[in-house]
Structure 1
Amino acid sequence: MISTEPGLHWVGEAGNGQDALELVRRLQPEVLLLDLGLPQMDGLEVMRVIAADTLPTRVLVVTARQDPQAMRTALSFGAHGYLLKTDDASALVSALRTVADGGHHVSPELAGVFDRDVQTREPLTPREVEIAQAVGRGLSSKRIGCDLGISEHTVRKHRENIARKLGLRNTAEMVAWMIRQRL
């Protein structure tokens, strides 16, 4: 299905984590679709090695695991997206494109994982809301900067302020927060 989409090419497949890591090292794909429950080397270990080796491949986790700990761990290990196996094909293609373009994606169904009664200590400025909305759409800081006519550095500073104000730890939590707020 992926190969039938314009601009997307399926370059390899592996049945275990060790083989997946070897393929990533050899082929260096833009995006790796990765299950967490792989034999020999689980998906979390694969992500840890990809990060340690500073490989350029971005990781989109595609899994059945919906528990908060697995999701938080995957995101902290460098996953750029977290998609459920029950999501439809169009969601997979959209998530792939978002991650490949430098953004982040979290299945809307999982937005509630980050419910922690987020309390905003300070209100978000209109610019911060605008940037948070763009992050929620999966756009990268570079793309947001281009769209708004500001520097990538300025966008990153706004993102830091948003995260501080909302008590969020990473981009995935910001995306999930935006989904919950329907912004």
Structure 2
Amino acid sequence: MILSTQIRLVLVDDHTLVRDGIKALLSVIPTVTVVGEAENGADAMVMAEHCNPDILLVDINLPDINGLELTRKIRDRFPTLKVLVLSMYDSKEYISESLRSGASGYVLKNAPSREIVAAIEEIKYRGTFYSAEIAQKLLLDDGTINELTPRESQVLYKITQGLNNKKMARELDISVRTVETHRLSIRRKLNIDKPAALVKYAIDHGIIPR
């Protein structure tokens, strides 16, 4: 049996023009299908339940609910559903809050179209996406990079073994969402994304044997 490679997307933005622009952008991407649209949080919850999407693309400013609060509700009710925040705000406060809300990525509305497409594909197949600009804002807490927690070290070890999020969650007896949060925290703290560099870090710091 051939598995479908289609990424099913729901657009959540109260501006029709924005939704139309994103649809036009994605119409030329054969692997992405827009399966629903919502202009408020209430409609987004309905779309999440009935349209079987892989990802919700959510604006922060919605008429009935803050997009980050909507993200929390979505993730609580549909734990496997990913949320990509699309926002005009580049402040660290919004970006950090999106992470705490359970979003899998954050993209600015003025980002190049290729970055939006890349974010959708990365979130679908690898779990998270934060551009270099956004990741840098997350990284700069007090000018230093924090050490990994014991749990993050465990997750890093599993990453170096090539385990996916579901297998990690099962072996560590935690939720997939928690694994995703730890993975993003590791990326933030180390500013490392390439597997080979993660393995080197793990070896250098005694997380895996030499």
Q: Does 1:16 align with 2:40?
A: yes
The share of aligned pairs that are identical, in percent, is 24
Deviation at 1:54, TM superposition (A): 3.0
Aligned residue in 2 for 1:125: none
Deviation at 1:111, TM superposition (A): 2.3
Letter in 1 for 2:102: G
Letter in 2 for 1:118: T
C-alpha distance in structure 2 between counterparts of 1:39 and 1:174, whole Å: 34
SS in 2 for 1:33: strand
**Aligned with 2:124 (options 80, 100, 107):** 100
Letter in 2 for 1:59: V
C-alpha distance in structure 2 between counterparts of 1:181 and 1:29, whole Å: 27
SS in 1 for 2:32: coil
TM-score (norm 2): 0.60
Q: Does 1:174 align with 2:174?
A: no
Aligned residue in 1 for 2:144: 118
Which structure 1 residue ranges, 5 or more long, are not aligned? 123-127, 133-139, 158-168
C-alpha distance in structure 2 between counterparts of 1:75 and 1:61, whole Å: 10
After superposition, the CA RMSD in angstroms is 3.3
TM-score (norm 1): 0.68
Which structure 2 residue ranges, 5 or more long, are not aligned? 1-24, 173-180, 198-210
C-alpha distance in structure 1 between counterparts of 2:84 and 2:190, whole Å: 19
Q: Deviations over 1:90-111 (max 9, x none)?
A: 1111110011114211122122
Deviation at 1:13, TM superposition (A): 1.3
Letter in 2 for 1:86: N
Size of the aligned set, in residue pairs, is 153
Question: Retained in 2: the 8 A contact 1:108–1:179?
Answer: no
Question: Retained in 1: the 8 A contact 2:147–2:189?
Answer: no
| Higher RCO structure, 1 or 2 (CA under 8 Å, sep 6+) | 1
C-alpha distance in structure 2 between counterparts of 1:100 and 1:36, whole Å: 21
Aligned residue in 1 for 2:77: 53
Considering only CA atoms, is the larger Rg found in Structure 1 or Structure 2? 2
Letter in 1 for 2:33: H
